[in-house]
Amino acid sequence: MTRQYFDMKEVLLENGIQLVTIKKDSKLASIHVGIKMGALWEKLNEKGICHFIEHMLFKGTKNRDNNQINQQLEERAGSYNAYTDYTSTVFTVTALAEELEASTEIIADMMMRATFPEDEIERERGVILAEYKTSMDDVEQYSFQKAHELAFNKSPLRYDVIGTEDNIKAFTKEQLKQFYQKHYIPNRCVISIVSPMEHETIEAMIKQYFGDWKQGAIDLADIVIEKHLSLQKTTYKKHIEQSTLIYLYTFHGLSRMEELALEILNHKLGESANSILFRALREEKGIAYDVYSEMDATEYIKVLTIYTSVGEEDVFEAKSIIEGCIHKIKTREICLDEKNIQLMKRVIKTAVASMLEDSSELANYVVHQKLAGKKIDGFVDDLAAMEKIHAEDIYQVAETVLKKPMMHILMSG
């Protein structure tokens, strides 16, 4: 089924790397190297270590110093990046196809031979602390962090990926290096490459540059999966102009069909530019500029949130409107019919078409599908399942999920 969308080959290398190559008629090539290691698996004294290591892999290897790594990546004349989330750490380069081999060699060097120079650790510690403080100054990001702290007792979702200030200040070279050597191993790695080159050419290239990477033992603690706490809490932050409201729900245990129904509901509730909440809070009442809902169906996470920011004098009106909209959905006063389902199908089809057109987006999608142990063409099954979803399925999932939220209000004070 996959091949009607792209020319793809999957290979499991001897050292455990899962390699996915996609041949695409394009002048660009994109490589994404993902490690199945993120904030979910960090112990309490390790919160933020994956993010710190992501930064440090650009700071020196046995073959290159910081300046050489960044200069040589810059010389590829494309884009390069890295990011850490709850489930993975990913390094990417997108450039002209003729730059793919040089890009691959640099990333392989970073992944396999990082040295964690002491002086670079101290410089980067300052950078990450500045990033942490910036996130604390961002009212929206701060609100989400407080909401997650309140919503969970033991789940790693209590902590932001960047970690805690105390941990960032305390990480040592030995701690960083030991964690890197233990967990950043080929048998936790997926490499996806989208390029115009032949599959066999790419496979030979990956074996050349990543073949010496030695397997390690996979030793990870179990992840605590926790339903959100049902409560309402108001916290205060000085010198803010707008108050924020966040509703947080978890939805562990839903079938994929139910998750798809929830995606349709989420789109209609707050994700689209003409959503129920947008029209109620912004278009009709004029009390909010930012208002949206979003959901994350990633394994172990399964969170749906509603967010808005309003003036302090409008907080309780906004709260009443949001809860009124949810009540009207659950009591069928707001109509969610076949038209909404057809719209969501078009939204997904548009997103799939956009992803298939963009080499970097396609490589990123593939690396995450494989890291999660999912089919690369999972969107085909989702589109087929959408055909079986009806309005009553959406109302049922609303009744199942949208109840007893964790509700957080942030106000000035």
pLDDT tens column, 356-413:
899 999 999 999 999 999 999 888 888 888 889 999 999 999 999 999 999 999 999 8
pLDDT for 290 equals 95
Select from 180, 210, 240 the last residue of a domain. Answer: 210
Query: By the 8 A CB rule, do 196 and 26 touch?
Result: yes
- pTM of the full structure: 0.95
Residue 215 lies in a domain: no
Number of domains comprising the chain: 2
Q: Are residues 33 and 165 in the same domain?
A: yes
Residue 223 lies in a domain: no
Residue 226 lies in a domain: no
d(CA 370, CA 299): 13
Taking the mean position of all CA atoms in its chain, how far away is CA 208?
30
pLDDT in tens, the chain (413 residues): 344 678 999 999 999 999 999 999 999 999 999 999 999 999 999 999 999 999 999 999 999 999 999 999 999 989 999 999 999 999 999 999 999 999 999 999 999 999 999 999 999 999 999 999 999 999 999 999 999 999 999 999 999 999 999 999 999 999 999 999 999 999 999 999 999 999 999 999 999 999 999 999 998 888 999 999 999 999 999 999 999 999 999 999 999 999 999 999 999 999 998 999 999 999 999 999 999 999 999 999 999 999 999 999 999 999 999 999 999 999 999 988 888 788 887 888 898 889 989 999 999 999 999 999 999 988 888 888 888 999 999 999 999 999 999 999 999 98
Q: Are residues 353 and 259 in the same domain?
A: yes
pLDDT for 84 equals 98
Residue 235 lies in a domain: yes
pLDDT for 3 equals 46
Query: By the 8 A CB rule, do 224 and 156 touch?
Result: yes
Residue 341 lies in a domain: yes
Residue 216 lies in a domain: no
Residue 217 lies in a domain: no
Residue 225 lies in a domain: no
Length of the chain: 413
Q: Are residues 144 and 282 in the same domain?
A: no
Q: Are residues 262 and 340 in the same domain?
A: yes
Q: Are residues 194 and 235 in the same domain?
A: no
Alpha carbon separation from 285 to 77, 122, 276, 314, 404 (Å, rounded): 48, 50, 12, 10, 25
pLDDT for 395 equals 96
Q: Are residues 134 and 263 in the same domain?
A: no
d(CA 74, CA 103): 10
Domain span at residue 184? 2-210
Selection from 186, 139, 138 nearest residue 34 by Cα: 186
CATH code of the domain covering residue 85: 3.30.830.10
